Amino acid sequence: MEAPGKPIESNALKSDTMTHLEEELTMLKSEITVMWQMVISQLYKTREALLEFDKDLAREVVSAEKRVNSLELKIDRDCENIFALFNPVAVDLRTVLAILKINNNLERSGDIAEGIAKYIIVADHPFDAEILEKTEILRMYDETNNILEDVLKAFETEDTRLARSIFKRDEVVDDINVKSNAVVAEFMRNHPEKIEEGLYLISMIRKLERVGDHCKNIAEEIIFNIEAKVLKHKSKKKKEE
């Protein structure tokens, strides 16, 4: 015969464990939100540094990347600890897996901001205003930052409709990337003394295009977390349905 009260103690322990897991998940979501905001800030600063040719601001971005990397490592460790201590299942498991992958995509986006900042630091003179306008790199920045902010909103509000809108909106970023090849090539032909500037600019555009790709990856993880649907490798048409 079981000792009186034993089932009650077991249920109480289970309740305490579940409460602890919920607390850990809340803290994890808070950490990834801070990481998200840091990366958004990094990209905004590189846009301003490019437009104003502010090398000090670009150096600030490079320096701040160390904090982004540190937070990425902490989030990774926290995810591993939750796996080890709580063995989460169902939606809790999906949440941890999604945050783990989102964390990786955000860290790479932070690396991209740092890479762009380094181009600004080594440039000898301000970037040509005409080529900035013709390549639409500033518009590309705005679109990318808006997308990154909206995937954060989709994550916080569990809005899969907003997450799905990212796939279509990223096409604007892709289109600017494709058109920039001819624009920069013509610029370098007409201004052979500015070939280095053209090369820096095309590299920045490529990097921003990859931020858009990371945002799409994040959107996929949000949908996976909320709906338990894996979109990776599915056609673009199905993603937008």
CATH number of the domain at 6-240, out of 1.10.1060.10, 3.30.1490.20, 1.20.58.220, 1.10.540.10?
Answer: 1.20.58.220
Contact 158, 226 (CB under 8 A): yes
Q: Which of 35, 42, 71, 36 is nearest to 148 (CA)?
A: 36
Q: Is 2 helix (H, G, I), strand (E, B) or coil?
A: coil
Report the first-to-last Cα separation within the chain, whole angstroms. 57
**149-171 residue pLDDT tens:** 999 999 999 999 999 999 999 99
For the whole model, what pTM was predicted? 0.86
The domain ranges of the chain are 6-240
| Separation between Cα atoms, residue 58 and residue 38, nearest integer Å | 15
Exposed, middle or buried, 23 (CB in 10 Å: 0-12/13-18/19+)? Answer: exposed
pLDDT (tens digit per residue) in 3-31: 444 444 444 444 455 588 899 999 999 99
Q: Is 51 in contact with 138 (CB distance < 8 Å)?
A: yes
* pLDDT tens figures, 68-109: 999 999 999 999 999 999 988 899 999 999 999 999 999 999
Please tell me the predicted confidence (pLDDT) of residue 97.
Answer: 95
